[in-house]
Structure 1
């Protein structure tokens, strides 16, 4: 299981339509996030999390054609952050309401984070569910979210997301 399969690699030909921003405005909040590519060709998820109007999160997601991932056991993300806590999320089906989530603390340096499937917890609207952790059979969506319960600016630079 040491083979690595790329899910997404940012580059200067980044197509913004492949990624969707979901801010807390869906619930009346005022947070504002965006995704763009920098001069180095890395994705940059940045913005401002506001707690006004019951807000408090920014999320960026990428939908995939549903693929089998049972030959793998973890995600490998290469990122550079701002020292804040984020979560990496995934869904195994396009109509699945809950996601599987793994929290990590970013660093001001480039880091490669390995996220074992069996450590990704089922969540829905920020609440943990009494469901098994991600079983790693199929993959239909990947996402990053910031939701620390504080008003803050954020910047997360993303190089790649892969399976291992």
Structure 2
């Protein structure tokens, strides 16, 4: 093989390796309610979507959010279930919440009238890069809304 061809191949391989390894970026994660299901006993099953905007996998160690609906406190979503989420990806945690009486009333009214239910989650996510041990708390405050799903009684997305 001619030396210039070998040099060209080595330079291309080096460029490819540089592109793959790229800079490591750790960004603040976020969360939102993807689905809220109201059980027959009044408890809520909440699908909490955790979004990792980092360019590397992140280890989510805990979440704790005060939940309010219609401007009224509904309770607290909390877990210490560890979860690793790949780079620029999301995953779902399903948590159970025994909502306050006001929260139950707002959800029942939204379901009965077929309208959306405004919510706010306010709290923190504890996370760290998967390959490092130092976790930190990220503050999250998110306003959103879920609405009744046709054909699925008690389910809002």
TM-score by length of 1: 0.33
TM-score by length of 2: 0.34
- Structure with more strand by fraction: 1
- Structure with more helix by fraction: 2
